[in-house]
Chain A
Amino acid sequence: MGSPPENSTLPGASSRAAVGRLTAGWQRRSRPPRLGEHDSRVGPLPTVREARRGPAGLIEAVTAAGLTGRGGAGFPTGSKLQAVASRRGPATVVVNGMESEPASEKDQALLAMAPHLVLDGAVLAARAVGAGTVHICLDRARPVQVDEVWQAAEERRLAGRDQVQLLIHDLPGHYVSSEETALISWLNGAEARPATVPPRPFESGVQRRPTLVDNVETLAHIALIARYGPDWFRSGGVRDAPGTMLVTISGGVSHPGVYEVAGGTRTGDILALSGAAERGHVLVGGYFGTWHHLDEVAHLPFTAAGLRTAGAAPGAGVLYVLPEQSCGVAETARVLGYLASQGAQQCGPCMFGLPAIADDFAQLADARPAGDVLDRLARRLAVIPGRGACRHPDGAVRLAASALTAFASDVRGHASRRACAARWRRASSALPLPRSRADGGWR
């Protein structure tokens, strides 16, 4: 058995904030590590008997570890495992590797650098909840990733490693297609659009079975907790944010990329890893997140509880630093236009409300508002949230509202037809927006 990865400093990282658990042994290479390399790095998969050690084995260990979901919602993973395991009949596991958040790359990095760690976690979770099949959902716009994960699964099948079936699926990659009910809908033969809840996936998911849907990073943590135990997991991080987490940093920084940090690390210390300036604005939590002055969040722990005082949340671990020469109003307008185009076209408030606020922001960005755009926005931002089947409209509204506050002086200028100088530096448009994938449809 390999030794537990310590909270060692990543090669190349200068700050103490970076640690290496999930990322232990990552190096530049042309292909993901094979099964043998993976096992020698982290140790072999615990046997079925070992996994059942203790009253409830893995579920108890994950609960004791205090692991929370790393897909954005932050729900306690142990509770979710327990909810699925306690339902009657055979269960199913769905691996959410869609990573539809354009400013996030951590799941893609994890699947490229440690696919077997993710698959180990999925197989262990399947054993724990009584599932015979694991559905791995990936974005079909990433054929290399799909091929690599397929090869990893094939390697395991030939080695006779798992008693569960691993099925790889490539789904249409719309922003809302990574929502868990959208995955289940697609796996059941319908379109990859979010569905009305209840029923929740743990009650009735794939083929109406109790279904566990977990993000790939969450499953990778499960694979390590099963090997080294909850105490080891909690030896990193803080009480309300145990273990480590992956963070994607991009924008106006000298070293953009994916970093692994201990739970509870201050936001400013995380940003320092990427060489971010200490002034300016940052988008916290991705395109469903919120804009802030750096000095508003730098001293806060990058955790749900820590960021709450600033009205922010870590989301899927995303930090985007607004480049110095960019206009926050114009950048927000671009993202809102993208989010409006990415709705599932199912719910009225989202179908009509998001294009309306995106248009308001486009008028603001151009400094050519029609009528009282701020008054109109205030009214629209108040009426849209909480009325969709999924949280897509709520996320877009949160982003828009935070921009009005964080860029208040720019907003006032634009609203009175004085665009900021940055507006005309078109090259400064930097927030990544995937090309429209309307051609792929929803099937």
Chain B
Amino acid sequence: MTLRLRLDPIACAGHGLCAGLLPERIGLDEWGYPVITGDVPPGLAREARRAVRACPTLALRLSRVHGTRDPSEQKARHRERNS
């Protein structure tokens, strides 16, 4: 399942940790703010979640791309949230 990175630009303070943890999908502009370059394929999901957790201002979120609803994935996410 493909995941989508969403950034709250007001919350983001340009710490840049996300780009270090997920350089495949997050770059930094010349002022140090993240530039998201695409959706996250299943193979990068673990790194993406790590980048989300690392954000000091909780500005980064990960959501399912609309239309890729998959019940087994939903259950997995539910378990993850409640663990």
Contact = CB atoms under 8 A, between A and B. Distances in A.
On whether the two chains bind one another, the answer is yes
Given A348-B14, A383-B35, A387-B35, A196 B9 contact: yes
A194 to B, nearest CB: 8
A195 B8 CA distance: 10
B20 interface: no
A195 B29 contact: no
A14 interface: no
Interface string B1-30: 000000111111110000000000000011
Contacts of B11: 196
Contacts of B35: 383, 387
A212 to B, nearest CB: 24
Contact of A349 (B8, B9, B13): B9
B33 A346 contact: no
A348 to B, nearest CB: 4
Contacts of B33: 348-349, 352, 387
- Which residue among A195, A347, A380 has the maximum number of chain B CB atoms within 10 Å of its CB? A347
A347 B35 CA distance: 13
Nearest to B8: A196
Nearest to A353: B31
A348 B8 contact: no
B38 interface: no
Interface in A350-368: 352-353, 356
A380 B30 CA distance: 9
A144 B54 CA distance: 52
Contacts of A384: 29
A388 interface: yes
Contacts, number: 41
Contacts of A347: 9-10, 12
* Tier of interface size on chain B: 10 to 19
B40 to A, nearest CB: 18
Interface string B67-83: 00000000000000000
Given A383-B35, A387-B35, A349 B29 contact: yes
B32 interface: yes
A107 B5 CA distance: 39
Contacts of B31: 348-349, 352-353, 356
Contacts of B29: 348-349, 353, 383-384
Interface in A199-229: none
B70 to A, nearest CB: 23
Given A349-B33, A352-B31, A352-B33, A387 B10 contact: no
Contacts of A348: 9, 12-14, 29, 31-33
A305 interface: no
B28 to A, nearest CB: 10
- Which residue among B7, B8, B10, B35 has the maximum number of chain A CB atoms within 10 Å of its CB? B10
B8 to A, nearest CB: 5
Interface in A321-353: 346-349, 352-353
Nearest to A349: B33
A383 B30 CA distance: 9
Nearest to A352: B31
Contacts of B9: 196, 346-349, 387-389
Contacts of B30: 356, 380, 383
Interface string A84-127: 00000000000000000000000000000000000000000000
A352 B33 CA distance: 10
Nearest to A376: B30
Nearest to B9: A347
**For the complex of A and B, 10 pairs with smallest distance between CB atoms:** A348-B33, A347-B9, A352-B31, A346-B10, A389-B10, A348-B14, A383-B29, A389-B9, A196-B8, A196-B10
Interface of B: 7-14, 29-33, 35
Given A196-B11, A387-B33, A389-B10, 6 more contacts: A195-B10, A348-B9, A349-B31, A352-B33, A389-B8, A389-B9
